[in-house]
Amino acid sequence: MASDPLDALRLTLMQEVLPVGLAVVERARRGGPRDVIEAFSAQADPLEQLRQEGEPAARQVRESLDRLQPGLGNPVMKVEVRDMQDDDPASGAPPAAEASDRQDLQHALARIAARLTQLEQRLQPEA
């Protein structure tokens, strides 16, 4: 439990603060303090603009950290896994809703396959 606030802080730093910080550093390097001040005075939402500017560089930093140690740059999200109990494990037939879902899925897959066939025919050069 004690690590959850730290994980949340690290996630916030990686997702929110890092891109803004890298954008500010890049603006300062490129145009000096005037360019940094301009970012805060010219935009309606300067932090969002800076976050967008710094996201590509932040993504590279996070990927580099992941190469160093997996999960360091892009935190692994925690999930909860539970076993689901079947309604009637003795019967081999699926419930009506599951059968209906399976039938809907098969119809959708058949439509996709037909459309892919049409697309392949249109993409083939005429002889």
pTM > 0.85: no
Helices 46-68 and 33-42: crossing angle in degrees, nearest 10, is 120
> Would the pLDDT of 42 be above 80?
no
pLDDT value of position 60: 92
Tens of pLDDT, residue by residue over 54-100, are 999 999 998 898 888 887 787 766 778 788 776 555 555 556 778 88
